[in-house]
Amino acid sequence: GYPPTVREIGKAVDLSSTSTVHGHLARLEKKGLILRDPTKPRAIELTPEGLEKIGIQPTTIPMLGVVTAGEPILAVEEASDFFPLPPDLRTEENALFMLTIRGESMINAGILDGDQVIVRKQSNANNGDIVIAMTDEDEATCKRFFREVDHIRLQPENDALAPILLDNVTILGKVVGLYRNHI
């Protein structure tokens, strides 16, 4: 959804004057509890200090770089930045990380080039799970996982691409969410 309008904030706290609401918002911003964008009237964001003030611990997850949804690439695990996670997605410490997708092998699953996937660290997967898998050559890829009789199939979600068949893979985690900051 959208942040509330000044009028909606006033109604929620039983204030009829929008200028009074503006004054309260200005004081909250001055105290460092919220951020506002003067060019966007509904752009109000709680800062980490603001979240703590109301009893919510801000959570961030490490952004570990790029993984392909195409041909596997060499995996390098190094946090390049941290992504703020909504409080309702909080989980045990160090259980989640984020990767940027490169390639188009997962487009039928709605995972596009440039998307960022939220991954829960785990070493096992069920058939049909979308996973981040590492091959014996230390190459990581995002694919749908299938354990078959004599091999593991990493299935792309793009009809133009063939599956990757391997004797063994290391599951780095299961994709549990997606963030897209482009259209």
Active site residues: 105, 143
Distance from chain centroid for Cα 144: 18
Looking at residue 138, the DSSP 8-state letter turns out to be S
Nearest-angstrom CA–CA distance, 39 and 80: 30
Neighbours of 100 (CB within 10 A): 16
